[in-house]
């Protein structure tokens, strides 16, 4: 396995622990998210260790790469096991960095962190009860998150069923369209947050390597700005829905956003 570049801390010394979750079972259009963790690690190799904005080196931020938790046939059991693994990271005082895999793996991240607010960069509302009879489809993630969190914010939302848009009009859900994301700013007070980055929030011209690309999406800088703004509030992070069906554009963006999260979160802890 390729280690995420700069994730050189031991498990016992890690302030951030990266866990790959290559689940690829319910993607409804273009499969390939099983390759997401490997792609993200691979395309992070070109980055400089030093971050000029924070005057920090990634190798100094105590990131540990714990490898992948390989899925098996029973997704319910897999998510429970994955949540336990991420819960152990939390119990050790570290921040889990989950790399998917399809968006379903975020359910495990949310269960482990138990946040007040679920914040997601996503083209889709993911508020379905099921898709094709599957209640653990990647299209149900925000609904599952609301079983734990008090409310959800979906940034970049531009696709969903009629029932999902009706659900998104309720008080527990804030759906922010792409054209409004630049003006959005977090105001969470003392609430705890889990931040999920579905790479399809980006315009497919920026990140085509994803399962369900949706045009008219976000530019990479706006996604970076959201990650930087939310990171100080967040107790867990994931990047999901990267696949291998492009020339690395989605993976390099995902890897960069993960690093931006760590830099911004670490700076807020100083």
Q: E strands within the chain?
A: 16-21, 50-51, 56-57, 63-68, 95-100, 117-121, 151-155, 173-176, 193-198, 234-240
pLDDT of 29 reads 84
Arithmetic mean of pLDDT, 178-206: 97
Residue 173 lies in a domain: yes
For residue 51, give both structure tokens.
């971050």
CB 61 within 8 A of CB 266: yes
Per-residue model confidence as pLDDT tens digits over 200-256: 999 999 999 999 999 999 999 999 999 999 999 999 999 999 999 999 999 999 999
pLDDT of 27 reads 83
CB 239 within 8 A of CB 257: yes
DSSP per-residue string spanning 7-51? -BS-TTT-SEEEEEE---S--SS---GGGHHHHHHHHTTTS-SEE
Q: How many domains, the chain?
A: 1
Residue 1 lies in a domain: no
pLDDT of 129 reads 92
* Domain extent at residue 214: 16-269
| Non-local CB neighbours of 24 within 8 Å, separated by 6+ positions | 31, 32, 33, 34, 35, 71, 101, 102
Residue 59 lies in a domain: yes
* CATH number of the domain residue 125 falls in: 3.40.800.10
Per-residue model confidence as pLDDT tens digits over 144-170: 999 999 999 999 999 999 999 999 999
């Amino acid at each position: 396995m390729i280690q995420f570049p700069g994730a050189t801390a031991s498990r016992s010394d890690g302030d951030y622990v990266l866990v790959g979750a290559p689940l690829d079972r319910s993607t409804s259009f273009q499969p390939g998210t099983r390759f997401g963790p490997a792609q993200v690690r691979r395309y992070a190799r070109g980055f400089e260790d030093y971050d000029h904005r924070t005057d920090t080196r990634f190798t100094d931020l105590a990131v540990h790469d714990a490898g992948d938790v390989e899925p098996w046939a029973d997704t319910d059991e897999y998510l429970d096991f994955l949540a336990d693994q991420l819960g152990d990271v939390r119990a050790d005082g570290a921040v889990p960095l989950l790399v998917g895999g399809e968006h379903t793996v975020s359910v495990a991240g949310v269960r482990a962190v138990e946040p007040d607010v679920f914040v997601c960069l996503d083209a889709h509302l993911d508020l379905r009860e099921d898709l094709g009879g599957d209640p653990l489809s990647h299209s149900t993630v925000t609904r599952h998150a609301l079983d734990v969190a008090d409310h959800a914010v979906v940034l970049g939302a531009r696709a969903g069923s009629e029932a999902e848009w009706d659900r998104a009009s309720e008080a527990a859900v804030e759906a922010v369209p792409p054209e409004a994301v630049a003006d959005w700013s977090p105001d969470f007070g003392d609430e705890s947050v889990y931040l999920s980055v579905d790479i399809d929030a980006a315009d497919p011209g920026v990140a085509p390597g994803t399962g369900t690309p949706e045009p008219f999406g976000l530019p990479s800088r706006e996604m970076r700005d959201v990650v930087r703004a939310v990171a100080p509030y967040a107790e867990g992070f994931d990047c999901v829905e990267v696949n291998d069906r492009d020339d690395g554009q989605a993976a390099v963006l995902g890897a960069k956003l993960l690093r931006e999260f760590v830099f911004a979160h670490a700076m807020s802890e100083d």
